Chain A
Amino acid sequence: MGIASLDLYSQAIVLFAALALFTSFIMLAQARMMPLIFTFAWQGLLLAVVTVLVALVSNHPHLYISAALTFALKVVVIPWLLYRLSVRLGMQYDAEAIAHPTLLLLGGVALVIFSYHVAQSIVHLSGLATRNTIAVSIAIELLGMLLMCARKSAVAQVIGFMSMESGIFFAAVVSTYGMPLIVELGVAFDILVASILFGVFFFHLRDSFGSLDVGQFNRLSEANQSMPLREAAGEPSAGDPA
């Protein structure tokens, strides 16, 4: 059964899923700071819209609340916070050099395929739309993680982290009409606190390391220190102990 056979609502869902995925790819490829933040905001917006849509179709009133929360957090607060910070830290025009961008994108594509493969196993459970959206959300989550692995800047890492959560929410909204309200609130609270903490930490990091390049944070490395082999269970016991 193809997409044509779905009702308009599902088509819309799938469309938005595709768009969200697309934004993740953009974030993956986007080297400059400002567009990155904006793309993240766009993704949040898409998420909010989808939530509203679902709320409309399957009348779950509490979804409106979660939509509002999403909008507030992911579209307004967090991007704004990040923007302010990067301005304060004077890095809004930074553009970090991504190593092997094409390779990165290919990896992203591979991840999408992989997440479809993973989602295969739950096809029997629900309709095409749900399965695909779950696949997409897995993909978004993994892409966010890939972003965190690939990027050096702490800000980019935060954005990757947040987009992971967006992916999760996407799944929650589409497949299960959102989580119970108490959970939604708790999660929202956590995310808020987290983003504030992130802000605090940017300054601490900048003060202690002079930059937000997480690649430099390796004072606690153990790789270079090693035990001398002579201590192998002690040196052989001589005929007479000293």
Chain B
Amino acid sequence: MSATDGTPLLLAYAAVACTLLSGVVSLFALRRYPGFLHFGSFLFLFFSGAASIAAGGWTLLANLTVNDRLGFGLPWLAWHVRIDPLSGFFLVLLGTLLVAISLYGPSYTREFARGPAAQPLPPLGVFTALFVIGMQGLLIADDALLFMIFWELMSLSGYFLVVYQHQHAANRHAAFIYLLLAHVGALVILLSFGVLAAFGGGLTFDAMRAARLTPLWATIAFGCAFAGFGIKSGMVPLHVWLPDAHPVAPSHISALMSGAMIKMGIYGIVRLSYDLIGDVRWEWGVVVLIIGTASSVLGVLYALMQHDLKRLLAYHSIENIGIILMGLGLSMIFLGSGHRMLGTLGLVAALYHTLNHALFKGLLFLGAGSVLYRTHARDLDQMGGLIHRMPVTAFLFLIGCVAISALPPFNGFVSEWLTFQTALQAPALTNGLLRTMIPIAAALLALTGALAAACFVKAFGIAFLGKPRTRRVARAREVPAGMQGGMGLLALLCLLLGVLPTTVIEAMAPITQLLVHAALPSAAAQGWLWLTPISPTVASYSAPFVVAAIVVVFGLGYLFLKRGAVPARRAYAWDCGFGHLTQRMQYTSTAFSQPIRRVFAGVWKVDEHIDTLADAGPVPRVTSLHYSVHTHDWSWLWCYVPIGRMVLAAANRIGFIQTGNIHTYLKFSFVTLLAFLWIVS
């Protein structure tokens, strides 16, 4: 590899090296020298993030593909390494989050250094580093073995991060389920690689690209890959590990997990189905679309029922993965039925949403972390009124909420808009079933968007608005500048990606060139101001105008209304004449989502209890009233518990082998011998 062309790969190596260094440094972060973690480790993480951004950005902009080999691995299979626009894109995504986290982390991890939540620090730093190395490595891996090594490294170190605060049984349980599903998923992925290797006659990705699969085996390989990577990205119904695992990890890790790790599943799906298997079939697209739709709708509905902030965010990751999958499914459908341009559009929408979700979900988790850092509360119903105490955090968190609720002019809206546009090209298809199915899916996407908006009105409104519900919350302070900086960076990017979609889409052209040998020529045909994915007459959107208009309205309002007006007077809120309003009269999160719970009853397994205490007397009147509601995830009760029971039942049945009676054992070997003799004679 020549000096200039190889630079991105060298940068990627540098990134991995920096991550490694951060891990090594944090080994010294014993209880007496926490500084090694707070500063050293995160400093190197910062460099690593910057290097990944540089590497990825370079490959994207210069449209490079660099191969390399490292002298590790099996004697006949060196480690094959390759960086191309697709991996570059994900490297940029990962690097951005890393930079944000390295700004955020130093202050956040202080609460682990001392105080009630004190933990040994080295594991945190080391496994964070390994976790990141796993992701960086699998992005640049170019053979199945290396890919799986880094993939499993990612899952495994993720486990150690989830179980980091292992004194709570809930964390241990969550970590166990997480690792179990991750392992099963990895095995299924292995199967798919096995099929490809068997046909391609080699474990390198190049051999797999060259493989010519029969449709049946191609579908098997795709099915395995989709299932395996789907577990990692948390698609319904394989998602149960996610809402348990993400919340219990330290918040900056949750941000990495929801922002980057589950995206690796998306990367895997794209890499395998578009790049390695090659010819995509529309039937796969149908499956992906259906599962994606289910994930998005169910994800947001489950999220609505949560009152643990981080758990709520975790469920929203499921929803957004669903949206990404919808884009992918549409792209597969269109590609499979020969509409290359529309397939490209779907792919772009999916990748764009991947990037966006990484940004705003990272931002939201960091925000939740800030709240946790100051109030030690994860339950929404204990918060409230934080906007007065933590104005900056509140503002940044609000940006995240607006972005994830797909509202213009932020980035979430652009990608969903692109997905809609793809869906609206359904008439181009000849299959009548698809032509009806796709718009329905689009309508369900709209439902998802509206529900997400409802959910984040609830999240932000209950947590940051209104009056504080506990004393600790009332005493909360604003978080340190570093944490604000980390969140601010992501918030800024959310806005930029929302306002300048044309630039981003143009930057993505190399990816689509690589995968489907097509790009969106007309996307920026009208200049950077106008986003016209298909053609100006079909659809167009100009985010800058939106921003401008809102700014203008504010300006005018200031000029003509606020300036010179009598300053506002404060007064009590309207209390219907009943006297003082306490904070306990506010709507709780449960109350907020109650109408939706009634409308969509049956999506959850709801058990609701109201126990009233009435004092005896001539007229019994209720003195105390306790209301509790729990919503359970059906997919848990239907998929996982039965399997677990099955295995344990089998384990219990099999016990008869080990009776402890030596006669039985002798009989075993006797019968075995006779049986074999019978077989061979």
Contacts and interface: CB of A to CB of B under 8 A. Distances in A.
Direct contact of A and B (CB under 8 A): yes
A1 interface: no
B661 interface: yes
Contacts, number: 115
Does more than half of chain A's interface fall in helix, strand or loop, or is it mixed? loop
A126 interface: no
Nearest to A149: B666
Interface in A188-234: 214-215, 217-223, 225-227, 229, 231-234
Given A232-B641, A237-B244, A227 B651 contact: yes
Contact of A146 (B631, B637, B670): B670
Interface residues of A, number: 37
A88 interface: no
B666 to A, nearest CB: 5
A220 B632 contact: no
Contacts of B169: 242
Contacts of A118: 677, 681
Interface in A75-125: 114, 117-118, 120-121
A85 B63 CA distance: 87
Contacts of A29: none
A239 B590 CA distance: 11
Interface string A122-150: 00000000000000000000100110111
A237 B658 contact: no
A57 interface: no
B644 interface: yes
A236 B636 contact: yes
Interface stretch (B88-96, B157-165, B301-309, B481-489): B301-309
B176 A227 contact: no
B633 interface: yes
Nearest to B308: A240
A180 to B, nearest CB: 26
A241 B660 contact: no
Contact of B681 (A121, A229, A236): A121
B674 interface: yes
Nearest to A216: B661
A240 B379 contact: yes
A114 B674 contact: yes
A148 B655 CA distance: 23
Interface in B175-203: 176-177, 180
A233 to B, nearest CB: 3
A117 B681 CA distance: 8
Contact of A229 (B308, B648, B661): B648
A187 to B, nearest CB: 20
Contact of B240 (A231, A237, A239): A237
Contacts of A146: 670
A240 B177 CA distance: 16
Contacts of A8: none
Given A236-B632, A240-B311, A215 B661 contact: yes
A4 interface: no
Interface in B476-497: none
Nearest to B636: A236
Contacts of B613: none
B305 A145 contact: no
The winner among A146, A226, A234, A240 for most chain B CB atoms within 10 A is: A234
Given A226-B652, A234-B177, A149 B663 contact: yes
A233 B663 contact: no
A183 interface: no
B656 A223 contact: yes
Contacts of A234: 173, 176-177, 644
Interface string B646-681: 011101100110111111001101100110011011
17 contacts: A118-B681, A142-B674, A145-B666, A145-B673, A146-B670, A157-B662, A217-B662, A218-B661, A222-B659, A223-B656, A225-B655, A232-B647, A234-B173, A234-B644, A236-B633, A237-B244, A240-B307
Interface of A: 114, 117-118, 120-121, 142, 145-146, 148-150, 152, 157, 214-215, 217-223, 225-227, 229, 231-234, 236-242
Please give me the 10 A-B residue pairs with the lowest Cβ-Cβ distance, nearest first.
Answer: A221-B660, A233-B644, A232-B644, A218-B660, A222-B658, A232-B645, A241-B170, A226-B652, A118-B681, A149-B666
Interface of B: 168-170, 173-174, 176-177, 180, 240, 243-244, 247-248, 305-308, 311, 379, 629-633, 636-637, 640-645, 647-649, 651-652, 655-656, 658-663, 666-667, 669-670, 673-674, 677-678, 680-681
Given A233-B641, A241-B244, 5 more contacts: A142-B674, A145-B669, A215-B663, A237-B240, A240-B307
